[in-house]
Chains A and B, each alone.
Chain A
Amino acid sequence: MSKRSAIWLLVLCLVFVLAGCSSDAGQTAVPADPGEEPSGQAENGYDFPDIRFFDASLLDGSASTGEELFAGKDVTVINCWATWCPPCLEEMDELAAFAKTLPDNVQLITYCVDGTQHRDECSRVLEEAGFEGTTMISANGDFTTLIEQMQYVPTTLFVDSVGCQLCDSLIGSPTDLAAAYTECINAGLKSLGKGTL
């Protein structure tokens, strides 16, 4: 038994290894979400750089820039998420509902970090949640630096009309999303001397 079985097993395992090599690279290096916390993990938000200069591709197929995206809004909330991240998906309904309550001078946009590779899934998730705002699927420049420093999704950033950080970014999915976002937005508005929500 042992000799023949061992040879077959060896063949089978080589097939598996080779099949692994041929599969899409995005799948072989999926980061294992450690799930130590129910809603992702935290990182010091305050060392994130400002995000003033970058070009972005949007989910609807158009192109934009940082200046364009943030112009005319006192506060822009940027929720960074991924299609493989369960806590991100779970908060999406709440996020979409919150976005609809915002006044004209505050906007909420999302950045789907794997949106380029998984465009359809990204659209489906946002559609199901009823999110109607802007979604970026790739960005370069200052955003590249930011993403390199970002260790967890969801991470939510709060910037002013030129992309400067207004408030410590939120790491993970807060238990009460609306309250946590409102607090950060108000801190931002206050520092700009504007009326709070």
Chain B
Amino acid sequence: MANRKKTPAEAAQRKAEAKRLGIQACFAALLNGYAAGFVKGKIFTGATKGVCVPVLNCYSCPGALGACPIGSLQAVAGGRGRSISFYILGVLMLFGLAFGRLLCGFACPFGLLQDLLARIPVRRRKVPEYIDRPARKIKYVLLACVLILPAAVSAAKGSAASPYFCKYICPAGTLEGGLPLLIANAQLRAMAGALFTWKALVLAAVIIGAVLIPRFFCRYLCPLGAFYSLFSRFALYRMELDASSCIGCGKCEEVCPMAVRVTRELENSPECIRCGRCKAVCPAGAICTGFDLPGINKKETAEF
């Protein structure tokens, strides 16, 4: 098995995956490029910190050059003014419209981590549909909490409220922010209490989840993925399945990390992270990807 020669199709798949992994690694390094921060245990405080990045990347990661949109949204909404941050929503909508969940598949550092965890060879079981379907809705509930809870609590008590998703749930924050800061900083370690224990448990659960179920966090929990999924139908970057060339072999559905029913609902699926694994595995070349601008759509202009 180990020495079996790879077929050209397998080689092409591996190449496509390696390329995606490379892109993901570049984004992770680019977004967290302040290496000195990890050594000093201090977060970067330069001017770019005011820039909202389009993926889940903790503001408090010592290397982070920008701000996490989910954290920023909550900080602004829960702040004394209870404002809506038009800047952050605008950035997210712009990226959502242009790329949709392509960002989840190619740019998100926490997605990269989960893709690496999914390479650990264990026997994976399919999640039964009666659990999978409702569980996928959790991320929308969390998105609603991100958008509403800090503002609601702040309004109720008349002063600033905490970013609750960051505080109680976000495993990316624990991994990128909490752990490196604790490791580098004795005074912080002395302070870590029950809340940190809870967050470490959440992170551990998500890591185990991601080993057993590919993209566990993206499927069920990520509020940013939930936000981008609302744009799947409209995003300029698209994936399409040409039903006439599809031979119905089902290989695409086997490799899909998000368990999308590719042959039935690829195009507008809110769950598809546009990672392209189905495209790489398709023996019939029935799946195509690209930017399909409204108004210059081939099919629509063909009507004239």
CB neighbours (8 Å) of B190 from chain A are 42
- Asked if A13 meets B90 with Cβ closer than 8 Å, knowing A33-B163, A34-B177, A86-B160, the reply is yes
Q: How far is the CB of A54 from chain B (nearest CB, A)?
A: 20
| Smallest CB separation, B46 vs chain A (Å) | 11
| Contact, CB under 8 Å: B90 / A17 | yes
B1 within 8 Å of A by Cβ? no
Q: Please judge, given known A-B contacts A35-B163, A41-B191, A84-B160, whether A9 and B93 are in contact too, CB under 8 Å.
A: yes
**Using a Cβ cutoff of 8 Å, how many contacts connect chains A and B?**
173
Neighbouring B residues of A7 by C-beta, 8 Å: 294
Q: Are B166 and A2 touching (Cβ within 8 A)?
A: no
Task: Tell me which of A23-31, A60-68, A137-145 binds B.
Answer: A23-31
In the bound complex, do residue B80 and residue A17 qualify as a contact, i.e. CB atoms below 8 Å apart? no
Residues of B within 8 A of A191 (CB): none
Q: Are A121 and B71 interface neighbours, CB within 8 A? A: no
Q: Are the CB atoms of A34 and B93 closer together than 8 Å? A: no
A144 to B: closest C-beta gap in Å: 14
A27 adjacent to B81 (CB under 8 Å): yes
Which chain B positions have C-beta within 8 A of A38?
A: 193-195
Using A3-B300, A17-B86, A41-B191 as known contacts, say yes or no to A30 and B97 having CB atoms under 8 A apart.
Answer: no
The interface size of chain B toward A, counting residues with CB under 8 Å, comes to 67
Chain-A contact segment, one of B14-22, B25-33, B181-189, B254-262: B181-189
Interchain CB contact under 8 A, A16 and B89: yes
CB pair A20 B43 closer than 8 Å:
no
A41-B80 in contact given A34-B166, A86-B160, A171-B187 (Cβ < 8 Å): no
- Please measure, in the bound complex, the distance between the C-alpha atom of A148 and the C-alpha atom of B46, giving whole angstroms: 11
Bound complex: CA A172 to CA B181 (Å): 14
Task: Evaluate contact between A5 and B234: CB separation under 8 angstroms.
Answer: yes
- Contact check, A35 vs B192: say whether CB atoms are below 8 A apart: no
CA distance A153 to B195 in the complex (A): 18
Kindly list chain B residues whose C-beta atoms are within 8 Å of the C-beta of A16: 86-87, 89-90, 93
When distances are taken between beta carbons in the complex, the residues of chain A under 8 Å from B58 are 34
| Residue pair B75, A32 in contact (C-beta under 8 Å) | yes
Any A CB within 8 A of the CB of B133 = no
Contact with A along B47-87 (1 / 0, CB 8 A): 00110000000111000000110011011101111010111
Q: Inside 8 A of A168's CB, which chain B residues have their CB?
A: 187
The answer to whether the Cβ of A85 comes within 8 Å of any Cβ in the partner chain is yes
Residue-wise interface mask of B (266-304) relative to A, using a CB-CB cutoff of 8 A (1 in contact, 0 not)? 000000000000000000000000000011010010000
Which chain B positions have C-beta within 8 A of A125? Answer: 159
Contacts of B74 in A (CB 8 A): 32
Write out the residue numbers on chain A whose beta carbons fall within 8 Å of the beta carbon of B50.
28-29
Measured in the bound complex, the distance between the Cα atoms of B60 and A125 in whole Å is 27
Q: Is B233 an interface residue (CB 8 A)?
A: yes
User: Is B152 an interface residue when CB atoms closer than 8 A count as contact?
Assistant: no
- Distance between Cα atoms of A3 and B160 in the complex (Å): 41
B43 to chain A, nearest CB (A): 6
Instruction: Digitize A35-52: 1 where CB-to-B-CB distance is under 8 Å, 0 elsewhere.
Output: 111110111110000000
The answer to whether the Cβ of A12 comes within 8 Å of any Cβ in the partner chain is yes
Note all chain B residues with C-beta closer than 8 A to A110. Answer: none
Contacts A/B (CB < 8 Å), 7 sampled: A5-B234, A10-B97, A16-B87, A20-B86, A34-B60, A38-B193, A41-B191
Q: A6-B236, A30-B72, A83-B80 are in contact. List 4 more A-B contacts (CB 8 A).
A: A19-B86, A20-B85, A42-B191, A84-B80
Top 7 nearest A-B pairs by Cβ distance? A20-B87, A32-B71, A35-B167, A16-B90, A29-B50, A17-B90, A13-B93
